[in-house]
Amino acid sequence: MALNTDPNFQKLEQWYRANGGSLNMRAMFESDPQRFGKFSTTLKTNDGDILLDFSKNLINQEVLTMLLALAKSRGVEEAREKMFTGEKINFTENRAVLHVALRNRSNTPILVDGKDVMPEVNRVLDKMKAFCQKVRSGEWKGFSGKSITDVVNIGIGGSDLGPLMVTEALKPYSAGGPNVWFVSNIDGTHMAKTLKQLDPETTLFIIASKTFTTQETITNAESAREWFLKAAGDKSAVAKHFVALSTNAAKVKDFGIDPANMFEFWDWVGGRYSLWSAIGLSIALHVGFENFEQLLSGAHWMDNHFRSAPLDQNVPVLLALLGVWYVNFFQAETHAMLPYDQYMHRFAAYFQQGDMESNGKYITKDGSRVNYHTGPIVWGEPGTNGQHAFYQLIHQGDWVLLGVLVFSVASSHSSLTDVGFTGTRMIPADFMIPAQSQHPIRDNLHHKILVANFLAQTEALMKGKTAEEARKELEAAGMSGDALEKLLPHKVSTPASAVLFGLGVQFHDKSLVSLSKVFQGNKPSNSIVFKKLTPFVLGALIAMYEHKIFVQGVMWNINSYDQWGVELGKQLAKKIEPELKDASPVSSHDSSTNGLINFLKQNFA
């Protein structure tokens, strides 16, 4: 059943059309001092509490109840169980989706085609552990007898983004480990710039490619091997400096890597969910296998919460439902992820792939095209940097007010009915922050300023600033008269206009539409607060968002675990590549592509 034909969706839609315009967060907080308690939940993990405050959202209890009913009618609970029990929910590729098995610390059997996968999972983990101990202890030697000081992970997509994000986030836990580098881009600059900083005698390369045929990865790996052999001379030395994360033993051996140093993973591990597998070898080398296990344990804790908690207390479910509320009712097109922790500076980039490659689809499971929105654009930067870059748009970007103008001649009074919000400038945001800094320098001064900004931004987005408040602020600063009136509109955190669809009329007259009363901030956000960014907590946070993505895919009736949309470009690139080998003009494409190819060929030399 399509989302918008579900009776519970239609019930929400009717409510939204009748009441959406009256949802005002400032008013809801003022009328209910207990709102925070009603719309927040605290997870008691093995490594400190994680708080989700979702009270600064455009919801009330009635809306939340209807969203939860929609989750039930969409089959979220049933789909969740199918994933955890190894059913092949990735039906287009006939695969199970079992990244949860990779971090199944309970070792409870998980079956795929009747076979328990846990013995194989644990075998690879044991192999990773032994290898990490050898490298980190200095027992593993390079061709010249020196220990490894630097590890280069060569991969792309899920073989790069996850390990890169985690190794950056867990830098404080990397003592005693090698430096890690990541090369993903086929642009030769990425490889050349990295190699320039390395010593071939002390560098280990990890080649991450399941099939060992990924063009970008294998090309980069061959370039790394060429660079290495200029120093080592003997091809047999490759075995001491290259290992593989793959399932293709024959190609790994042909490359010069000892198959004994090939770490396997399985077709039920999706690339964007693979950091928990052998793909995470660079993580384990950098922070130590014990910390890698803590990362797995944190994710496993969240898996258990997601699988067992009631929907109304289930953090991934709540986050997913709020996202559906904004995407499918308020027509939000983007979602901002704003970690107030510099170590998490790659977190949003990681979930750009996790979310957009999973749910950026318009074909439902039954093969029909959706007539509703699905996955949003995901983006973000760490605080407070983002405040000085794009928060202006979040705070004061124009909104569009959807409704019907009703004018009463008898009373000479205008009002808006059947109101809702729409447009591209509503940007729901997730704010994340640890209570404790990894570096409490200057008596924790830096972190206190960071926390103050975190709190201020979510409050400002919720409350906004009315014209009356802005006027008082300017008057207190000694401003008056024309100067005050000229500056006043720019100081109000409310939209400047309303577009009334159906009539096609735009109003600026505040006597008709008092926008400061309709919008008072009212920009939705979630606050996610945790004690400290540890390996366990990071694992829990990543798994939390993975499960949010899963729930939204179920709600939208799409397969979140294939990625056919990336294939066409690859196919066309293979056709174009041989056309670039000589200087002859090309005419086999459209005029734009022909023109671009020919211009480039003229300028290659």
Residue (of 279, 247, 266, 268) closest to 98 by Cα position: 268
Q: What is the pLDDT of residue 91?
A: 96
The model's pTM: 0.92
Q: What residue spans define the domains of the chain?
A: 3-74+309-399+427-466+520-562, 102-295, 575-602
Neighbours of 143 (CB within 10 A): 18
**Residue 399 pLDDT:** 54
178 neighbors 150 (Cβ within 8 angstroms):
yes
CA atoms within 13 A on the CB side of 520: 18
- Closest to 378 in 3D by CA, of 337, 415, 332, 344: 337
Alpha helices in 20-52 (DSSP H): 25-31, 35-38
CB 142 within 8 A of CB 196: no
> Catalytic amino acids?
357, 388, 570
Topology of domain 102-295, CATH: Rossmann fold (3.40.50)
Q: How far apart are CA 430 and CA 449, in angstroms?
A: 19
Domains 3-74+309-399+427-466+520-562 and 102-295 in one fold: yes
Burial of 196 by CB count in 10 Å (0-12 exposed, 13-18 middle, 19+ buried)? Answer: exposed
Per-residue pLDDT, 148: 99
Token output for 169? 């986030």
Question: Computed from CA positions of residues 207, 213, 215, 220, in that sequence, does the dihedral angle turn out positive or negative?
Answer: positive
- Topology of domain 575-602, per CATH? Phosphoglucose isomerase, C-terminal domain (1.10.1390)
Which pLDDT value is given to residue 495? 40
Q: Which of 145, 149, 198 is nearest to 177 (CA)?
A: 149
Q: How many CB atoms lie within 10 A of CB 392?
A: 10
Residue ranges of the chain with pLDDT lower than 50? Answer: 400-424, 495-519
What is 3-74+309-399+427-466+520-562's CATH topology? Rossmann fold (3.40.50)
